[in-house]
Amino acid sequence: MIDSLILQQGSDWRAQAEVFDEIFFVFLALGTLIGTIVVAYTLWNVYKYRDDGGEPKEGFDAPEVGELPTGQGGPKAKKLFLSFGLSAIVVISLVVYAYGILLYVEDGPDADEDNIEIVVEGYQYGWDYEYPNGHTETGELVVPADTRIDISVTSRDVWHNFGSSELRIKSDAIPGDTNTNWFSVSSEEVQAQGGEATFTVECFELCGPGHSAMEGQITVIPQDEWETWYEGTDGDSSNVEGGASVDGAASVNAAAIGGVSA
């Protein structure tokens, strides 16, 4: 089970939300399973070794406080080594599994350079977004579906923290420093939300009296709609070459991204 989960990440893009939900589920399921076994085994021993008022059985080596378990009838400390060994296997498996999957979260999926880089700048009390062509938006970040969005998060006044609970992303916004993160929303999700998926952005660092109202929004729309919108934005259009060539680039982009996610 653990192997197939790690391998799965190379074959397809997975949103951070999906990865974190999976880690949460794996830890919850294993914790519940092991907790049930430990509590059941404890209760069983409480019953088995209860004081029923009778005399102890012949040759029974009763455990004493402070003494290592001896493994009744078997090699010394058999149960101790068994439980220690099983615990070690479970813990090491979880560490390897979680570390492997978190490396994917760190690096993100391979976007073949079709990613979009957005500079996010926090201020008291809101968010500014700068697109590759120099266009800026305040409050609402509009991005295309099925695309890896790379964000560089910084601040122009005090410490903030840019995050979206629904997307499971969160990055410190520190003046003079830049933290990078990524997210990607599938077109299936956009369709499920009626052609436009919206996610609330909040500040997760107490930054002043307006902190609790420091909200923004990430809006994800279909790729073709986004290309049209992006062409219409002002600012330095160095990355958008205008006219027919943009349509050409857009369809090449869409084909390349389709190929990656297929």
Q: Which residues bind Cu ion (CB under 5 A)?
A: 160, 203, 207, 214
Q: How far is the CB of 136 from Cu ion (least distance, A)?
A: 19
Q: Supply the DSSP symbol for 182.
A: E
Q: How far is the CB of 188 from Cu ion (least distance, A)?
A: 32
Overall residue count recorded for the chain in this entry: 262
Residue 213's SS3 state is: helix
Rounded Cα distance between 232 and 230, Å, is: 5
Rounded Cα distance between 38 and 87, Å, is: 11
Q: How far is the CB of 66 from Cu ion (least distance, A)?
A: 54
Rounded Cα distance between 221 and 145, Å, is: 6
Q: Supply the DSSP symbol for 156.
A: S
Q: Which is nearer to Cu ion, 172 or 227 (CB)?
A: 172
Closest residue by Cα to residue 251 from 155, 114, 153: 114
Q: How far is the CB of 176 from Cu ion (least distance, A)?
A: 16
Q: How far is the CB of 199 from Cu ion (least distance, A)?
A: 18
Return phi, psi of residue 63, to 5°.
Answer: -70, 145
Beta bridge partners of residue 173, listed in sequence order: 160
Q: How far is the CB of 173 from Cu ion (least distance, A)?
A: 7
Q: What strands, in cross-sheet order, belong to the sheet with 160-164?
A: 140-144, 215-221, 197-203, 160-164, 169-173
Only one residue has tokens 């609790």, namely 212
Return phi, psi of residue 207, to 5°.
Answer: -125, 5
Q: Which is nearer to Cu ion, 120 or 203 (CB)?
A: 203
